[in-house]
Amino acid sequence: MLPPTMPSYLAILLALPAAITASTLDCEKIRVDKQDFNLSPIGGPKTVHLQEYDPPSIANTTFTIDICNRLKRDPEIGKEKQCPMGTQVCGVEEIYMRDGSHSTFKVQPIAGEFTASHGRALDPRWTRLKGSASNEDAEREGLRLELNGGKYPENKEGKPHKAIVEFLCDAELTGNEGFEDAKEKEITERAEPEPEEDEGGDDEVQLPDLDKGKSIEFVSFKSEGEDQTKVLRLRWKTKYACEGAADSAPPAKKGNSWGFFTWFLIIVFLLAAAYIIFGSWLNYNRYGARGWDLIPHGDTIRDLPYIVKDFGSSVAGRIKVGGDSRGGYSAV
């Protein structure tokens, strides 16, 4: 019988490799209903906006999505204004006042891999529109992607969040329109809406179109279903959603794929975790060990910092002695 703390300890160890392998979405090799798609050319962070005028303020929510990788944090922005690590779809709501001041109101991780934090996974699901049960979808060509894992706020009362993106076939659009020359920082700066007032007064305020010219379009962001999941719906027009376009899509950068070294580290981690788990179980059942005594070679692991320090001092001493050597001759 295992001690009370061991089940949770084992669960964490076993969950880490799963979280690592599920942290990215393979958007290069997509096969649905015997059809191949490659959406890697439209990978990278893309933004769309939801603007709402509520006098005397304007609420602007910037939704950022990367269908191929996790979103990277901007070191120039505080962590409290960005979604946590592992997020692939993030919504940041900011409130702008008429006097020019603004503040961040909400930071919502809508979809991502959060198995290690609150147990919710990205769980990507692809659907071919022509193969869908919906009559409306049967007349369209493209894909639907469902990304899960989000939760806001991140507590017991938090509601689940997810994103549903429809990629529609459009032979005239690459899907990168509106983002060719814009960096993410520049997009953020453009996302500060300034209302344009007509002669009618405040009731006639018109908000600027921050997504003009983009091939990705905001559809809705509302609660749906019996569990009231908050769903972000986007529509994305691209030629890469056309059937047969995967053969003509440019190859993805090799740096995005996993190499031998990555898999080697994962295998080493699994072997080490299995050794620690089995050794701890054996020490508990055979010797009734507790604490550090549970872990195989616990004394060695505990003394490892001192061993490394002594080894480093020894190497540094030898290098110093070697540098002071005068080839065997002493000064007269």
pLDDT at 133 over 80: no
Return d(Cα 190, Cα 212) in angstroms, integer. 12
Is 9 a domain residue?
Answer: no
264 three-class SS: helix
- Kindly state whether residues 30 and 167 are assigned to the same domain: yes
Query: So what's the pLDDT on residue 236?
Result: 97
Q: Which residues contact 106 (CB under 8 A, 6 or more apart)?
A: 61, 91, 92, 93, 152
Query: So what's the pLDDT on residue 152?
Result: 93
Tell me which of 253, 288, 313 is where a domain ends.
253
Is 10 a domain residue?
Answer: no
pLDDT at 327 over 70: no
Tell me which of 219, 253, 287 is where a domain ends.
253
- Kindly state whether residues 212 and 68 are assigned to the same domain: yes
- Kindly state whether residues 195 and 296 are assigned to the same domain: no
| pLDDT tens, residue by residue, 46-76 | 999 999 988 889 999 999 999 999 999 888 8
| pLDDT tens, residue by residue, 88-124 | 999 999 999 888 888 999 999 999 999 887 788 999 9
3-state percent breakdown (helix, strand, coil) of the chain, nearest 5 = 30, 30, 35
- Kindly state whether residues 76 and 197 are assigned to the same domain: yes
Is 94 a domain residue?
Answer: yes
Stretch 67-87: mean pLDDT: 91
Return d(Cα 324, Cα 93) in angstroms, integer. 63
Look up residue 261 and give its two tokens: 């070294």
Is 298 a domain residue?
Answer: yes
Q: Between 73 and 254, name the one with better pLDDT.
A: 73
Is 331 a domain residue?
Answer: no
Return d(Cα 69, Cα 270) in angstroms, integer. 24
- Kindly state whether residues 247 and 267 are assigned to the same domain: no
21 band by pLDDT with thresholds 50, 70 and 90: very low
CATH of the domain at 96: 2.70.130.10
Lowest mean pLDDT among 145-159, 228-242, 273-287: 273-287
Tell me which of 215, 235, 253 is where a domain ends.
253
Q: Between 20 and 138, name the one with better pLDDT.
A: 138
- Kindly state whether residues 159 and 307 are assigned to the same domain: no
Is 146 a domain residue?
Answer: yes
pTM: 0.67
Stretch 274-282: mean pLDDT: 82
Is 173 a domain residue?
Answer: yes
Q: Report the share of the chain in percent with pLDDT over 90.
A: 40
- Kindly state whether residues 165 and 310 are assigned to the same domain: no
Look up residue 126 and give its two tokens: 């692809």
145 band by pLDDT with thresholds 50, 70 and 90: very high
196 band by pLDDT with thresholds 50, 70 and 90: low
Query: So what's the pLDDT on residue 249?
Result: 56
Query: So what's the pLDDT on residue 230?
Result: 96
Q: What is the mean pLDDT of the chain?
A: 80
Is 330 a domain residue?
Answer: no
Q: Which residues contact 309 (CB under 8 A, 6 or more apart)?
A: none
- Kindly state whether residues 51 and 126 are assigned to the same domain: yes
- Kindly state whether residues 207 and 276 are assigned to the same domain: no
Stretch 280-290: mean pLDDT: 77
The string of DSSP letters for 201-248 reads EEEEEE---TTTT-SEEEEEEEEETTTTEEEEEEEEEEGGGSTTGGGT
- Kindly state whether residues 240 and 268 are assigned to the same domain: no
Stretch 199-221: mean pLDDT: 80
Return d(Cα 263, Cα 222) in angstroms, integer. 40
Provide the number of structural domains found in the chain. 2
Q: Which domain holds residue 121?
A: 26-253
- Kindly state whether residues 248 and 288 are assigned to the same domain: no
Nearest one of 215, 255, 246 to 39, comparing CA atoms: 246
Task: Provide the residue count of the chain.
Answer: 332
Return d(Cα 60, Cα 207) in angstroms, integer. 10
Nearest one of 137, 188, 136, 144 to 162, comparing CA atoms: 144
Query: So what's the pLDDT on residue 323?
Result: 56
Q: Which residues contact 69 (CB under 8 A, 6 or more apart)?
A: 24, 25, 43, 88, 256
Return d(Cα 147, Cα 121) in angstroms, integer. 9
- Kindly state whether residues 40 and 145 are assigned to the same domain: yes
312 band by pLDDT with thresholds 50, 70 and 90: confident
Query: So what's the pLDDT on residue 254?
Result: 47
